[in-house]
Each structure stands twice: as structure tokens, then as C-alpha cells.
A and B are shown apart, each in its own frame.
Chain A
Amino acid sequence: MNALIVDDSGVIRKIIAKTLSQTNVDEAIQATDGQEAVDIVADKGDDIGIILLDWNMPNKSGLEALKEIRGMGYKTPVIMVTTEAEKSRVIEAIKAGANNYIVKPFTPDVIQKKLKDTCDWI
């Protein structure tokens, strides 16, 4: 099963990909904004088993992308990975269909734990 990492920061994508390489994820696909994420999900669909999604990105935000992905009918688990730490933001994301939430800054251990909490296949 593959993972989709969505973040406009290349270094954050690298750090998350490195953590995923220590799990049974086959491939860590990367997207740089929300629109790219929606396009990849539309193309690869059920091959993606988990999405790690930043909130603040150019072109299309993570929240907008999440709403579109859910609107397309995909139930792929989504973990928001973001600097947006306010409780109101967390609730907004959960209402839009996020399954879990990681606030930056994070450690690899936190990513690993949230992945296991969110996905039964990792």
C-alpha cells in the first residue's frame, strides 16, 4: 500500500518520507499542494492507503483538498500535519473528514504512533 505526502515544504516531505521508509509503506508519493493531491487521488485512488496532509499551501489548501477528496467518495485515512494548533482548527479538520491530527513541530515517533493509531495496515 502507498502513502501520499502533501506539503509545500520539500524538507518536511523528506522527513516524513524517511519515517515512512521504516514502515511497510511500499511507496511515498509526494504532492506540493492541495490541487496536486486531489489529482493524484483521482488518478491512483484506492492504491493510496494513507494521506499526510499539510494545511497551509499555495494554490489549494489542505482543508480544501480534504473536502474535495471526501466529496469524490474516497474514505482513505487522512492525517493533517500542520502548524494550525487551535482547537477550532482541529475540529474544522475533523468535521471535514480528517482521521487524525499532528501539530508541527513533530518527532518521527509521533508520526509513527499516529500512523499506527490511524491505519490498521501499518
Chain B
Amino acid sequence: MKASDLAPPFTESVTTMFTTMLDCKSIQVSGQPSFKHDSSLLDITAFIGLSGPDRGTVTLTLSKQTALNLASAFIGMEYEEVDEDVTDCVAEMINMIAGGAKVNLPNEGNGPYELGLPTVVQGKDYTISSPAKEVWFDIPFESDLGVFRLQLSFESMKADNQHPA
């Protein structure tokens, strides 16, 4: 699967979630999506796995302030520190983003994708190691609530690595 086929369902899903549940007026891709796995992840990173017609991982990485803004908009009360509610909110967001995207991913009649359970990591003091041939497609976003990045890595993206969308 090419990144150019993979990315649109995810960007559409991000937009739907931000406008529906966060009442966000402005949300868009803020630069050229690219093949890279930037190790300078932000304060909070959420992961979720997808399996089925293809296998992959989706990550949402965002600053502490963006996470607080998202949680405040999501739950309808102000948050000033990252607590269980805020990490739970970020976990639910990656769940909804991946869930909303998977219904529109190409599957060539091979049945629906299965979603894993989300995991949230706090802090920047860690490194993600991936198999040597694994590639990541990085999509930067900006919104009323702050900037964040969505990163996709699917097995079938390997063949598309040299020809970014």
C-alpha cells in the first residue's frame, strides 16, 4: 500500500474527530508529510496497532500543552497538569483516529481491520527502535488546540519508501 493511499483516511479521521468531539474550528496538515521517523518525539506519545489486510502502527505525538488543551476541550473542564484523565483522553483519541481511518483503508475485500488497544507513553527520554526496513510516514498537523504529529508505519509501505507521496 502506498503512503498516498494510507494517509488520506487518517487525515480525514483526524479532522472528523477534532471538529466533532473537540469543537475545533481550525485543523489542517501543516507541512509536507514525509518519510521519516523523527526521534524528537514530543511530551506524550500514544500508539495503537492495526492488523488484518495489512499490519501497522499509528502514533500520535503531542506537547504537554496540546494534550492539556485537547483534554480540556474533550471533557469540558480545565486541566493544568497531565493526569490520568489527560492520558486517557490521548489514548481515546488515537483509538478514534485509527478506528475512523480503518473503515476507509483499502482492504481489497480481505475483511475489516482489527484495532489493538492504545498505549500512552509520557516523557521524551526514550527511543523507539524499529526493524531496519520499517519506514514511517510523518504527518504534521496544526489546530486551534496546538500542534501535533501523526506517524504511520505499515508493512506494505516498505515498497513505497523511495517514492514518497
List chain A positions with a Cβ less than 8 A from chain B.
8-12, 14-15, 18, 56-58, 82-86, 88-89, 104-107
Contact = CB atoms under 8 A, between A and B. Distances in A.
Nearest to A85: B103
A111 to B, nearest CB: 12
B115 A11 contact: no
Interface stretch (B31-39, B84-92, B126-134, B141-149): B84-92
A84 B112 CA distance: 9
* Residue among B75, B85, B98, B99 facing the most chain A CB atoms (10 A cut-off): B99
Interface of B: 16-17, 20-21, 71, 74-76, 84-85, 88-89, 91-92, 95-96, 98-100, 102-103, 111-112, 115, 117
8 contacts: A8-B117, A9-B92, A11-B74, A85-B99, A104-B96, A104-B99, A105-B21, A107-B20
A105 B100 contact: yes
A56 B95 contact: yes
Nearest to B21: A105
Nearest to B17: A105
Nearest to B99: A83
A10 B117 CA distance: 14
Contacts of A10: 84-85, 88
A106 B16 CA distance: 10
| Interface majority SS (helix, strand, loop, mixed), chain A | loop
B95 A83 contact: yes
Contacts of B84: 10
Contacts of A105: 16-17, 20-21, 96, 100
A106 B92 contact: no
A58 B112 contact: no
B120 to A, nearest CB: 11
A56 B76 contact: no
A11 B89 CA distance: 6
Contact of A18 (B76, B92, B111): B76
A98 B21 CA distance: 24
Contacts of B102: 86
Contact of A84 (B17, B74, B99): B99
Contacts of A104: 95-96, 99-100
Nearest to B20: A105
A89 B20 contact: no
Contacts of A106: 20-21
Contacts of B89: 11
Chain A to chain B: the 3 pairs with minimum beta-carbon distance, closest first: A83-B99, A105-B21, A105-B20
